[in-house]
Each structure stands twice: as C-alpha cells, then as structure tokens.
Structure 1
Amino acid sequence: MRGSPINFPFTSNENVSYFTYIVKVENAIYFRYVVDYTGQVKLFIWAKGRVQWLNFWVGPAEDQICSVYGLCGAFGVCNRENLNHCQCLSGFEPASFTDWELNDWSGGCRRKKKLGCGSDQFALQTGMRLASNVSVATVAESAEGCRSACLKACSCTAYSYQHSKCSLWKGDLFNLQLLSDGSGDDIYIRLAELETLNNETTKKQQPTALINRGAIGGGGRKHWRVTISLTVTLAVMLSAATGAYIFWRCKTKIIGEGEESRGQELPMFDLGDIMAATNKFSESNKLGQGGFGSVYKGNLAGEQVAVKRLSLESAQGLEEFMNEVKLIAKLQHRNLVDLLGCCVEGEEKILVYEFMPNKSLDKFLFDQTLDPPLNWEKRFEIVMGIARGLQYLHQESRLKVIHRDLKTSNILLDGEMNPKISDFGLARILGGDQTQASTVRVVGTYGYMPPEYALEGRYSAKSDVFSFGVIALEIVSGKKMTSFQDAEDSMNLLGHAWKLWNEGKGLDLLDPLLGKRCQLYQVMRCINVGLLCVQANATDRPKMSSIVLMLSSSFSATLPVPKQPAFSYKDRHRELGSCPMGSEPSTTPISMVEAR
C-alpha cells in the first residue's frame, strides 16, 4: 500500500506463496495491525513514554472510505461527506438496524416491499458512481429499450443507459456511491409499483434538486428559496413561514437538535389526493377522534392508509405534528406504527400512517360484549410486542425516545393482531448520556403517569416502564385503570392487583372471560412484572431489556419481589395537579390528553 509505514514483500513460486511485513516505525515498542469492519487497515503502536495505543496510520484514508469494497452492503449507498457514510436507497431499509446503529453497514439494506415482477416500476437516482457488479452490458437504441430489457427479466434489479450503452444489474447492488461533484451517472432502481407511485407524488412537489439528490436519506444539501411579496399581510407571512418550516422538516426529517439528518426521504402528499382518499374526510370514513384531531380511513394508490388530520383549533397541534414527523419517520421497528408521509397545505397539517385494521387495543380489552374475547395467547403476544417496541425506543434505537403517553388506546393492532406503538406527539428525545429530563408543563393521560412525572415533571425511560406496567395489568385483568371500581377499599387497579398479590391470590386478577384456559405461569409472570414496573421509586423499576428477558424466561425462573405500587388508592390521585414546578399542587385532576 502506497504511503504505508509497513512494507509487504511478496514471494510466489511453484512451491509456495507468502508475504512478510516489515514495520518502519522508530521508537515503537509494540505494534498491532488491525482490519476493522469498515475495511480500513489500521496500525496501532505503543511508543516509549506513552500510556495508550496510538493510531499511527489508516488506509485507505477517510476521504477514500467509499473505495472499500462492500462497505455499505447490498443496496447501500456510500456518501463520504456524511457523518454516517452509508444510507439505504429509497424503498429500502437496513437489514439490521442494530448493526447500523453501531456503524456496521456491511449487512446492507433490504426491500420494504417485495417486487411484483411485471408490475414493477423504476425510481431514478442521479449523481451516482454505479454499482460494480454489473451483470449485462450491451448496446441499446434507446433508454426505453434498456428499461424494457430490465423489466422483462424478473431478476433484474436496476438499469442504466449512458451513451447508447445499456447496463443491467441482477440481484443485489454493491458499491453505489453518491458523488458531490456532479460527475456521477443515472441509475434506475427497480421498486414495487405502489412504492414508485408514492415517490412520484413526492417528486411532483419537490424542487428538481430534491428529486435528483433527496431520495437517499440525508445525502444532499437542500437549498430553499422563498419569495414573499412585501405587500402580503403579516398574518399571511407567518402562515407561509410556518408551512414552509413544516414542509422542510418533513423533507429533511430532522432527528434532534444539532444532529445531522440521516433519514430517508418522507413523501409529501397532495391535499387533493388526501381529500379524494378519505371522501373529503367523510364521517363514514372516520376511525376516531381525540384532543388533537381526527383519524380517517383512506385509500391512496390502492393502499389502505390511516389519515390523521390535526385539529385547526388545537393549540398544541403544531408541536405534536413536528414531534410525530421527526420521531416516527426516523424510527423503524415491527412494533412501531409506520409513518408513510405528511401533507401541509395552508392551515392543514396531516399525517399518513399505515392502516391498522383492528384499530386500538382498548377496543378488544374493555368491550365486554366482544365474542369471542381476546384469548390469553394473543394477549401475551401483545404484552411481549409492546415490551420489544419500548426496548427499541429506549435502548436499541440511535435515538433514546421517551413516549410519555403510552396507553392501550395508543397501541394499534394490525391484521394479525400484532401490536404497534403509535402517537408520538408528546414524545421526547434524551441525548447522549442523559437519563432523565424535566418539564414545567405536565401533560399525559390520567392513571398512566408515574409519580415523579405527575408531581415533579421529571421523566425518563422509567416513566414509560410505569405506563407499560399499567397496560400489562390491564391486559391481564381486562379492566381499565381509569374506570376501575373497588368500593370496599377505594383502591384503583394497581392497589387491587397489589392486594391480591400479597394475599397469594394473584390469579384472581385474571379476566373472568378467560376462565382458566391459559398458561397460568405466564399470567403470574405478567402480574409480577406489571407490579415491578409500577413501583413508586423509579430506580426500583426494571429496564425494558430486563422486562423482555423476564417475560420470556422459563417457568422455573425466579423474578424479583415487587414493592407497593404508586397511587394505589383512588383518593391519592387528587394530589395530581397540572401546575408549574415549585408551585402548590392543584386540587383538580391533572391536565390530560385523552385518546387522539
């Protein structure tokens, strides 16, 4: 290697092939030579007088990192100007989110939607150094002829037409690079038809620069020019500025203060298309309504979606909208609801989600007329799914996200009854090594908030753990925390569960609709874990990773013994006041955000 402080003499003959290496570093007592996961070769030395290893040499250099073969894996794009060198192509996501969060991109990306062969379309990516593993290179009369050749072969995943030369790729694409100097070529990536339609919707409303460079998350710099007539009134100027700001945030999907945008492009939908999809927000399409707006069922390009239209009167609508755009769009997990896009026109602020045909968990838990009731096997799977979703938010995602409004109405169920956490309007990000934060504006839902947040405004991952504990006990009992009645002892659901547990009658908490047709050790495990989660002291509550382990452990595993839960009695809720920190608590119930 040129410039390396090590020589590699190579010997090869009919009997043997080998190489040796000679280190040319003066004063080095020890040295080690490492090839890391990025493909870079690094030389570390321990010189006289030093107390740690010194990274003496790296090859290839940082500005040549994209030359490492397979750095970003299949369907990954290298951009040496980005802090994270690799992104996935539009329509793809990391094959392993955990590995990508550790900056190991070699596993590459996978498709979000499977190809349909003859019904597929192509998405244009410009400014690219093309993938090295081209399968076929031939002469074509036109770009359309090249496209047709790729479309006819179901194994063809991309094509490029340059100067009458048609290049086709089959299987995975490797070593794509986004070039910033304008010297790159065009390549057309094969995507499922619906995905391409969504991309086209996005392109119609983007400047040309965004069409060319924006499809790859966080790749290019986005320049906006806004011309506002000096005769426009101040109110219109403010409205336009707000709309442009939201539009920009949707496009760049900012993930936190001071952080570089690294997410994939979020489609912008036209208001006319949204109106047509929901039949002009007709009541017959309405799925639900909450404090911040209404949710409607819609059909966009043949796909069922859920359209959340924020209320024009909601004072907190803009803040909630921005939270959901910057959080949900960045987070991807099987137990989190997918955000498909957003729409901002005039005063309208709209979010488009994947459609969840079974609506929310509370409908299945608290409807006594449901026949048959939600069986235990499915309830336990839902508990596990919620736990895994929270574990991702708190510990596995690059962002440390605190939901702050976890409740059964914010757990949505897909067609197979898999749970997905939704509604991130009140969520907050904790940065770096930060473990907790505080606020003077306490908002949330009565009964699901821990004492340190309700009374002092302090929130952390343990706040969500408390809410999870309440939900777990609701799932076991089929009783709602905020409407549970125990006239004899004035206890709420937490106090009732604690009393039964201490008396050795934990199974009496089980929903009577289930009878005894369930894994009783799982029931007891859920009650035990639920009570551990709602302990008064936040430090006593387990982390979500420990909760997942406890719930999935074997019958013989011994769990910790819980302490008395917070807010066990109904009259203690009167202590909850919505007031600035440092002032006297109000005698009225806390300001709450009910199901949205």
Structure 2
Amino acid sequence: MDDQRRSCLCCAIVLVLTSLMCSSSFHSVNAQPVVYPIANVSTSWTINDPLRVFKASDFFWRPILFRRGLRSRFSLAFCCDFAYTACIVGVLIQKQTSLEKDQIADAPQLVWSANRNHPVKLNATLQLTQDGNLTLSDSDGTSVWSTYTGGGNYSVAGLNLTEDGNLVLFDRNNAMVWQSFHHPTDSLLVGQGLVLGQKLTSSTSASNWSQGLFSLAVVQSDSYYYQYLSAYVESHPPWSYFESAVHLYYYDVLNNVSLKFENESFNGLLIRAASSSSAQFIRLDPDGHLRAYEWDGSNWNVVTDLLTSDIGDCGYPMACGNYGICSSNGQCGCPDEATSNTFRQINSKLPNLGCSLVTPISCNNSQYQTFLELKNTSYFFSNSELTNRYYLNEQTELEDCKKSCLKNCSCKAVYDLRNISNKGCFLLSEAFSLINNEGRDENVTVFLKVQKSLTAQYPIPSQTNSPQKKSQVTIILGSSFGAFFGVFLVVASCIFLFKKKREFEDFDEFSVDQVPGMPTKFSYEELRAMTNNFNHKLGEGGFGLVFQGTLSDGTNVAVKRLNGFGQVKKSFLAEVETIGSIHHVNLVRLIGFCAEKSYRLLVYEYMFNGSLDKWIFQRHQELTLGWQSRRKIIMDIAKGLAYLHEDCRQKIFHLDIKPQNILLDEYCNAKISDFGLSKLIDKDQSQVVTTLRGTPGYLAPEWLNSIITEKVDVYSFGVVVLEMLCGRKNLDWSQPEEDMHLLSLFKRKAEEERLNDIVDKCNDEMQLHGAEVVEMMRVAVWCLQSDFSRRPSMSGVVKVLEGSVDVENNLDYNFTNPAIPRSIAAAGQQEHATGAATTLLFPSALSGPR
C-alpha cells in the first residue's frame, strides 16, 4: 500500500512540475528547451516565433515533449519547413546525448505525425484541453486534428511520450485512453505492430510528408487463423506487389494480437543490428520499399530491405516509373525505345523517373487508338493471390480484351496471361512499371494503349490540282456515298428486325455494347457452371438470390440472380448502367452480367466479410467490430457516397443506403453495393421527381412529396451511423414499445443528456470510447435534420470525419419519420409475427460473404 501511495505521489509531483514548465508558446530561441516526457490537461503549445530552435537537414523542429529511451531519444515536436508555412505535429527519433541550440540533433527522423495531410502555419496551437481532448488548430482557429477523447468516461489525466516512442493519453488510473501506436503513419518502432484494419502508408517524397502511393497492411484470408502481410498500391482497386503469410493462433485471433516489430525481426524477416544498443525503426518509403533503419553512430543507415529479397528490384510498381521497363540488371528503359516514335523518357539522365507518351491518349479520339505489343513483358503483381480476383475469364479472347480496353478511357493496357497458370486477360487502369522477361520461360505479353499521331489521324492533303487528283476525289466521293447508303440500309434493316423480335419476346437481349465500362458478358451456362448449378446460396432478398461462384482462374465471385419481369428489368438496367461505368475503392466492383432470354444475373467481386448488418446486429459471434473499425467504415461509406454525388460524370442517387447494402472486404474496407434502385441525374439538376423507393426506416421525410435530392442518401447514412454506434436496428420489435424506434429513443436520451446509455452495450471497446462515440452521434444528427437543406453534403461529412470541419451547431433533434404506406406497415407487422427480420428489405438483405 505504501508503494502505491509513493507511486501516486510521484505522478502528482511530475504533473505539477510539468504544468509549471509548460508554457503557451516558445517565446525565446536563446532559452534552453524544456525537457520533460509528460504534460497534464489544460496545456497548450503555439508556434509563434519565426526563428528556429533546432535544425534538421530539411526542416526546423521545436520540441514539445522529450523522452530518453533505452536505445533512442524521442521528441514530440512541431516540424516546419524553413519558411514556417507548413508545419506538422509528429514524433521524432534520434540518437543523441544533449539538446543544444543549432545542433543537428543526430539527423532526427519523423516516425509518426498527426496532421501529415493537413499542415498548419505559424501561430498554430496544439492543446490538451480540460476535458482531455488533444487537438491541433491552425492559426485561424480551424480545427485540423483531434484524438476525440474529450469528456465522457475517459477522465484523461495527461499526455505521456513513452520510452518506446508511443504518444499516450492516460487516465487517472494510468490506463491508456489513446495511443499513437494504434494510428501509424509510415513507420514502425520497436515494440509496435500492425493489426487487422491498420496500415502503414508511405509519404509522397522525402520532403513531402503527405500520404503517398504505397501501403502495407495485415489482410484477412479465407481463414481466421491465417492472414497476409500485403504491400500494395493505393489505386482503385489496390494492387498488391508483395504478400507474406501470417499464421495466428486461436488466442491471437480472439485478442487481436498484432504483427510486431521486435528487436531484429519483423514477420520472421531478420533485421541485422550493429549492436544491441542501436536505435532502429522500419519505414515504408516513398518508393514502396520497406526498409529497416539503424543508427551507426554517425548516421541512419539501411540495414535491411525487407521485401526486395522476395520480389527483386523490378518487383516494385514504380521501379522504373510509369510506362518504364525494368530489366534483370535493374536498368530502366522505355517501350519502343529503338524508334522512339511512341514513348520518350521524362528525364534522360534519370531513366527511373519513367516514360511518357509522345502523343497523349485522347478520350475524344478513341477511334484513332491502337496497341503497342510488348512480348515477354510482365506486370509487377502477376503472382499476387489477392489481386488474381480481378482477372478476366480465361475463356475471354484476346481481341475481346482489346476491344473492352479501347471502349474504356481509363484502361491503359491489356495484360495477356492466357498462356500461363490458366489465367486470362487483365485490363490495367494504371500504367506502372513493366518487367522485361527476356531469357525467362514466361509466355506473357503486355499491350499498351497508344494514340496515333495527328498526321496519321488527319493526313495533310496535297495542294496539287491535277486531273488525276480530281479523278481520285471523284472515286472517293462516290465510294463514300455508296458506303453511306449501304450503312443506312444495314441500320434500317437492323431496326426493322429488332422491332419484329420485340413482338415475340417478353425481354429484349441486353447487348454488351450498351454497357459503359468494362463488365464482362457471361452466358447463362457459364454462370451455372461457375456456381455449381447455383448450389451455394449466400443470401436472398426481394429481387432474387445471391450465390457464391468461382471463375476459371479460381477467383471467388458473388452471382446475383434476379427474379421477376418489369421492376427487375429496371433494377438490372440501373445496376449495370450505374456501377458498370464507375470505379471507386468504396463501391463494390461489377465484374460481369448475363442477359440471355429471360435470365438476368449480375456478377460482383466477392466480399469476404459479408454485409455490415451481420457485424453490428448479430450477437452470436466471437469477432465483432471495435470502435476504430466502425469509425473507418463510417468514413468509407461517406467517401463512397461523396464520389457518387459529386465526382461522377452524372450525379448518382443510391436511394437504398442501409447496413445490408454495405459490404466488407478482407481488408475490412467498406463498399457500397446494390444499385438496383439508384437514379442517374444530370450535373445541372438539383432535384428530381420520382416514385417512392427504398427501405422503411431509412427513408427521408421529403419522400412524402416525391421531390428528392442527394440529401435522401445523407439521411439514410445518418440512420446507418446511429445503428452502428448503438449496435441495434432503427426499428427493433424486441424492444419495449417506448424504445422500439431508435430515433425516438435517441431524442429522449439526448434531452436527458444520457447518450452514453445507448452506446453499443455488447462491445467493451465501444463502451471504452464512449465519449468519441457520442461525438460521432452529432455527425449522425446533422445528417438526420428534417429540413434537407440543413443536412451537410457527403463531402462535408468527409471533412468533418477528417477533423478539418466542425459539426454545425443548433441542431434540431425533432426527427421526422416519414409515414410508411399501409401495405408496407402490414408486411412489417406480419414479419414481426412470424419472427422474421424486423426491417423490410427491398431489394435485398444479405448477410453472408458476397
């Protein structure tokens, strides 16, 4: 007991001394910097002196907290460019004995940052508030970053920079409330690890700390006891260039044990150490290499390049830049280098920067595009198990691949793998580095899309006016007129035959030429074979069933078979026309479709973790979604909707946002699915008149007058967010009558100031982060405003979730639930009586993987 009292007394003394030493700013450059590892609440630090305190090679830095560890020295510091126009708050690692003015401080290295994508300026302030929230505000007062730990059940007592470089907020019992190790940027320190849902993301360059092109994450496999360590490119979709198995035990899975960077090893990869006292860290560098760094007494040196031994120098996506070809000796060159007619090097002195097209590709002149064939040339991810799912069918003919690529402006190349491993053609939306396979027994070919030169497109006419030329002109005009007349006859005949065909068929054939983008057209027999005669059902809904299938290359897919006629036809067309032409990391990818006789089927990428509803509504499972995972999913949904509303060629209203239509992949990334009820709107339209569609409980009030905007999706998003935070359905018949409707319950608890009562009680992590959850509820309330004009745009929601914008004040908690048609209400009551799902699902409600 005496030891415990002495420990508490020591902590109190440290906090008191810290509060005396902390100041609201760095006033004098001549004063020695205060060295301390802990700060208490109600402390702030401001950059208000343009003179430097310490200088590193590329930046100035000002210490906030400082800790001497066993191997390293760590500083929480402001890091600024030399003009003090871009500053971030971050943790630095260094090996040194003292801090003195103008000292280089042994080349400090940034290993964690709070605001890498949102730098601040002079007079920005970092503050640990009275209620325990660590926030960063720019010079104009704009909130840039926050730990979202203020208020609630946290009782944050202070901020601590530990001996291993972990920035920690702790409570009065010295328990961790928040830690930087759970929010890695591009580096890992000794003792730090990665868990499912976390990732490292490289910086853009050595001098630009914003998020770059490459990421490293732990990815779930088909088994809960087997995961991948995957390095991939942050493209759409993400392409993996390195994978390594991670074997887990039952205890590890239940306790979410991380893949740790221990002394001299990471995931079984040995890291050579110069001595037992050498400082180390691992960083995912801007070029995609995962390197281990070590202090050798005078500088930071690379001691291990962790991925190169497996994938080689040419195995990195940007080894030779865009369009560059990497040879076995590590040399970089350009396609068609002998003639230089198509590509040229960006910088002849730096060939690794890549190549550019002599004539850029023009989407408006696709008829003048062709392909440059590169035999014995491969792409970096050809051996990746996780990216194999994006291969086309092995039965796809090469010419069909080329045609699909020419039809889609985003397609840059065709990768032909039909001659190895039973794989098919692959359409590439990015032109990363290629690999020269000369001398290897690999029969692979890459076809790069190129634009013919202007002279080839539009030949310059001769100025000669000879009789021979006139004769040629006459022949050309006559031929052209004849060709035009022939085409006219063919078109007229086709129209006549098409109308006749419609008289004898209930359904018209859906031609592949009508589909924008690159979804593949399958025959019904092909899909029946893929699904083993539709044997493995994943789920069902109002418009049909979903089955698991397998493409010929082993890729798992989800096949949705639609039943019915009129409404199903509209749903089918809406789905293919909408999702078939757009690509985003937070939208489920449509791989193909079938429109044969009366059959209507859609083929999607397989989503390993199924739909969101099973993770937040079902209680009989060992693995649940914690707070950080739910925050990430909320952000993913918001980004997907923002893309649909603002970044597409046409606005797209989804009109059926609900947990059943949010799917989770093996990365636990959320993707929006089921576009059967969606509506495409011209960019200049602000609203549209349409009939009632969607799912009761998620319908915005303005559906009553049938005039809607994209804000109906914002409202549905708000309902989904509340369901995720509370861990229950918006309409739950199992609850007492006064608690049956979540929005009514939420309003009552808000008036009583007891919102913590409705935070998901079945999840300990959600309870632990109660204050953050309650803060997120304010985002949901903003989206649920009865007046749609007061709801934010989805891009505005993304900014709030990123911490760059605050939620609007004076929110209205008088939510309006739109009236449910009597027939729908009766159906809902019948479902309740029979014990079926409490929410009526309109077109589908699928909980399994799909």
What TM-score bracket applies, with the shorter chain setting the length? 0.5 to 0.7
Query: CA–CA distance in 2 between the matches of 1:239 and 1:155?
Result: 60
For residue 640 of structure 2, the aligned residue among 389, 392, 398 is: 389
> What does residue 242 of structure 1 align with?
508
- CA shift for structure 1 position 298: 1.6
Is the 2:761–2:767 contact (alpha carbons within 8 Å) kept by the matching residues of 1? Answer: no
Is the 1:498–1:565 contact (alpha carbons within 8 Å) kept by the matching residues of 2? Answer: yes
The AA in structure 2 aligned to 1:528 is R
For residue 357 of structure 2, the aligned residue among 157, 171, 174 is: 174
Query: CA–CA distance in 2 between the matches of 1:349 and 1:157?
Result: 47
Q: Which string of whole-angstrom CA distances, capped at 9 and with x for unpartnered residues, describes residues 394-449 of structure 1?
A: 2233332111000000000111221111111111122122121111x312111100
Query: CA–CA distance in 1 between the matches of 2:537 and 2:639?
Result: 30
- SS of alignment partner, residue 762 of structure 2: helix
Is the 1:402–1:461 contact (alpha carbons within 8 Å) kept by the matching residues of 2? Answer: yes
Query: CA–CA distance in 2 between the matches of 1:151 and 1:196?
Result: 26
- SS of alignment partner, residue 636 of structure 2: helix
- CA shift for structure 1 position 157: 9.4
- Identity between Structure 1 and Structure 2 (%): 28
The AA in structure 1 aligned to 2:609 is N
- CA shift for structure 1 position 392: 1.6
Query: CA–CA distance in 2 between the matches of 1:151 and 1:274?
Result: 41
> What does residue 675 of structure 2 align with?
424
> What does residue 187 of structure 1 align with?
373
Q: Which string of whole-angstrom CA distances, capped at 9 and with x for unpartnered residues, describes residues 474-522 of structure 1?
A: 0011111132555353651101011101110011110111246432332
Bigger Cα displacement from structure 2, 393-402 vs 317-326: 393-402
The AA in structure 2 aligned to 1:523 is V
Bigger Cα displacement from structure 2, 420-429 vs 334-343: 334-343
Query: CA–CA distance in 2 between the matches of 1:157 and 1:112?
Result: 25
Q: Which string of whole-angstrom CA distances, capped at 9 and with x for unpartnered residues, describes residues 190-222 of structure 1?
A: 55655895176454795x9946943656999xx
> What does residue 540 of structure 1 align with?
790
Query: CA–CA distance in 2 between the matches of 1:226 and 1:308?
Result: 37
> What does residue 624 of structure 2 align with?
373
Is the 2:342–2:357 contact (alpha carbons within 8 Å) kept by the matching residues of 1? Answer: no
Query: CA–CA distance in 2 between the matches of 1:404 and 1:134?
Result: 40
Question: Do structure 1's residue 277 and structure 2's residue 530 form an aligned pair?
Answer: yes
Is the 1:394–1:402 contact (alpha carbons within 8 Å) kept by the matching residues of 2? Answer: yes
Is the 1:333–1:389 contact (alpha carbons within 8 Å) kept by the matching residues of 2? Answer: yes
Query: CA–CA distance in 1 between the matches of 2:606 and 2:724?
Result: 23
Query: CA–CA distance in 2 between the matches of 1:173 and 1:505?
Result: 60
Q: CA 1:460 to 1:275, structure 2 compared with 1: closer, same or farther past 3 Å?
A: same
- CA shift for structure 1 position 339: 1.4
Question: Do structure 1's residue 492 and structure 2's residue 678 form an aligned pair?
Answer: no
Question: Do structure 1's residue 333 and structure 2's residue 584 form an aligned pair?
Answer: yes
> What does residue 538 of structure 2 align with?
287
Bigger Cα displacement from structure 2, 403-412 vs 424-433: 424-433
Q: Which residues in structure 2 correspond to 1:40-55 (within 5 Å)? A: none
- CA shift for structure 1 position 228: 7.9
Question: Do structure 1's residue 524 and structure 2's residue 774 form an aligned pair?
Answer: yes
Q: CA 1:155 to 1:436, structure 2 compared with 1: closer, same or farther past 3 Å?
A: farther
> What does residue 462 of structure 1 align with?
711
> What does residue 5 of structure 1 align with?
none
The AA in structure 2 aligned to 1:447 is G
Bigger Cα displacement from structure 2, 285-294 vs 514-523: 514-523
Q: Which string of whole-angstrom CA distances, capped at 9 and with x for unpartnered residues, describes residues 83-112 of structure 1?
A: xxxxxxxxxxxx99xxxxxxxxxxxx9886
Q: Which residues in structure 2 correspond to 1:76-155 (within 5 Å)? A: 113=239
Question: Do structure 1's residue 198 and structure 2's residue 392 form an aligned pair?
Answer: yes
Question: Do structure 1's residue 268 and structure 2's residue 521 form an aligned pair?
Answer: yes
Query: CA–CA distance in 2 between the matches of 1:166 and 1:431?
Result: 37
Query: CA–CA distance in 2 between the matches of 1:248 and 1:288?
Result: 31
Query: CA–CA distance in 2 between the matches of 1:157 and 1:239?
Result: 56
Query: CA–CA distance in 2 between the matches of 1:542 and 1:239?
Result: 47
Is the 1:277–1:300 contact (alpha carbons within 8 Å) kept by the matching residues of 2? Answer: yes
Query: CA–CA distance in 1 between the matches of 2:397 and 2:506?
Result: 21
Is the 1:384–1:551 contact (alpha carbons within 8 Å) kept by the matching residues of 2? Answer: yes
Is the 1:202–1:268 contact (alpha carbons within 8 Å) kept by the matching residues of 2? Answer: no
Bigger radius of gyration among the two: 2
> What does residue 444 of structure 1 align with?
694
> What does residue 50 of structure 1 align with?
none
Q: CA 1:173 to 1:345, structure 2 compared with 1: closer, same or farther past 3 Å?
A: farther
- CA shift for structure 1 position 379: 1.4
Is the 2:607–2:665 contact (alpha carbons within 8 Å) kept by the matching residues of 1? Answer: yes
Is the 1:266–1:340 contact (alpha carbons within 8 Å) kept by the matching residues of 2? Answer: yes
Structure 1 length-normalised TM: 0.61
- SS of alignment partner, residue 592 of structure 2: strand
> What does residue 506 of structure 1 align with?
755
Q: Report how many residues are paired.
A: 434
Q: CA 1:565 to 1:326, structure 2 compared with 1: closer, same or farther past 3 Å?
A: farther
Query: CA–CA distance in 1 between the matches of 2:323 and 2:497?
Result: 56
Bigger Cα displacement from structure 2, 481-490 vs 361-370: 481-490
Q: CA 1:134 to 1:231, structure 2 compared with 1: closer, same or farther past 3 Å?
A: closer
Is the 2:518–2:581 contact (alpha carbons within 8 Å) kept by the matching residues of 1? Answer: no
Structure 2 length-normalised TM: 0.44
> What does residue 309 of structure 1 align with?
560
Query: CA–CA distance in 1 between the matches of 2:789 and 2:342?
Result: 63
Is the 1:273–1:300 contact (alpha carbons within 8 Å) kept by the matching residues of 2? Answer: no
Query: CA–CA distance in 2 between the matches of 1:505 and 1:559?
Result: 21
Q: Which string of whole-angstrom CA distances, capped at 9 and with x for unpartnered residues, describes residues 270-293 of structure 1?
A: 4333222211211xx211111112
Q: Which string of whole-angstrom CA distances, capped at 9 and with x for unpartnered residues, describes residues 37-79 of structure 1?
A: xxxxxxxxxxxxxxxxxxxxxxxxxxxxxxxxxxxxxxxxxxx
Is the 2:323–2:335 contact (alpha carbons within 8 Å) kept by the matching residues of 1? Answer: no
- SS of alignment partner, residue 464 of structure 1: helix
Is the 2:608–2:666 contact (alpha carbons within 8 Å) kept by the matching residues of 1? Answer: yes
- SS of alignment partner, residue 350 of structure 1: strand
Question: Do structure 1's residue 214 and structure 2's residue 407 form an aligned pair?
Answer: yes
Q: CA 1:432 to 1:484, structure 2 compared with 1: closer, same or farther past 3 Å?
A: same
Q: CA 1:486 to 1:595, structure 2 compared with 1: closer, same or farther past 3 Å?
A: same
Query: CA–CA distance in 2 between the matches of 1:291 and 1:525?
Result: 36
The AA in structure 1 aligned to 2:533 is K
- SS of alignment partner, residue 417 of structure 1: coil
> What does residue 44 of structure 1 align with?
none
- CA shift for structure 1 position 537: 1.6
Structure 1: segments with no counterpart, 5+ residues: 1-94, 97-108, 121-132, 137-149, 254-263, 580-585
Is the 1:412–1:422 contact (alpha carbons within 8 Å) kept by the matching residues of 2? Answer: yes
Query: CA–CA distance in 2 between the matches of 1:382 and 1:271?
Result: 35
The AA in structure 1 aligned to 2:614 is K
Query: CA–CA distance in 2 between the matches of 1:233 and 1:301?
Result: 37
Query: CA–CA distance in 2 between the matches of 1:173 and 1:418?
Result: 33
Q: Which string of whole-angstrom CA distances, capped at 9 and with x for unpartnered residues, describes residues 152-186 of structure 1?
A: 899889866999x9999995552454777879664
Question: Do structure 1's residue 406 and structure 2's residue 657 form an aligned pair?
Answer: yes
- CA shift for structure 1 position 468: 0.7
